[in-house]
Amino acid sequence: MSSRGPAQIADLHRFDCIIDARSPSEYALDHIPGAINCPSLDDEERRIVGTIYKQQGAFEARRVGGAMVAANLARHLRERFADMPATWRPLVYCWRGGLRSGSMVNWWRLVGWDAQQLAGGYKRWRQHVIAQIDAIAPQLDLRVVCGPTGSAKTRVLQALAAQGEQVLDLEGLACHKGSLLGALPGVEQPSQKAFETQLAVQLERLDLGRPVYVEAESRKIGRIALPTALIERMRAAVCLEIEASAAARLDYLLEDYAYLGDEPEQLASRFEMLRELHSRETIARWQDWARTRALRPLFDELSRLHYDPAYGRSQAAHFRRWAERRTVAADTLDAAGIAQVAQALRALG
């Protein structure tokens, strides 16, 4: 590829480096996978230029902004790209493929590098992500893994992947376990756009001729909304249910959510969200258990009084093939038991 015209999404793999010339906050919200952030303007500079544009007009904004861009590009040349060979071929993008990336491309070309600009910038990438999800999701041959809270569904997906099956781990992409207590300690959920970018990347890697295992989910995982095309495909898919005893599930929950005992007051506060569903006495009891780190009775009652009663109704309402689901019994949910469940699910086809 030698043309210096704007590059397309399909050309991404042909470059040595992908440079995101947007501000750090724009990059943090979402970016093309593998791109590095080398801002033409940082967040404060972008704010200043925007204010000047509104108050004094385009010329003054470009005069002030141009000096800032020049200083930033010079710094990038001295520091980040000081050792790049003459044959280095970077691709640069900004929001719409405009001045920020165009300025960088022009400078890099003056140096002698074969730099190119991404046509349409990040906006074009975003359109590509949405189009890929909408195109691929309806073609997936899904196997929806169901089971009440504590059935180790995520661990079963991991075991299926280890056994060579295709898996779509939506909770892993969303950095959330999908329940009231599903927030991961010290881990922020990605932005909606970043989640969808990673989802599109995962979908593009799948072999559409083979089954894909996915955990049963509602429309939202924490604050992340699942794309409609994927939700609709899941709702119409084959359901595979894990049947484990209440005792096995409780043991699993105590292991998998043990970290909740590290922040007892924070755990207690989460039950405020359930006041419309349970009595004041029940909420108070759960909060007392949370504050005293009594996780066994807490998880036991949460399962019996909150999660389990709604499970069957929810599955029947959301999954059109729930009545014809196939089940796999799980005697234990330790590592060996989870591996056996995965093998049994594979045998169901």
Residues forming the active site: 94
Nearest to 171 by CA among 264, 163, 187: 187
Element (H, E) at 308: helix 308-318
In angstroms, the CA 140 to CA 130 distance is 16
Which of 317, 337, 318 has its CA nearest to residue 328?
337
DSSP output for 243-262 = EE-HHHHHHHHHHHTGGGGG
Helix axes 192-205, 121-136, angle to 10 degrees: 60
CA 288, CA 273: separation in Å to the nearest integer?
16
CA–CA distance, 187 with 189 (Å, rounded to integer):
7
CB 246 within 8 A of CB 328: no
38/23 Cα distance (integer angstroms): 8
Q: Which of 196, 238, 199, 194 lies closest to 216, judged by CA?
A: 238
Dig out the tokens for 112 from the structure: 């002698």
Tokens of 308: 């389990």
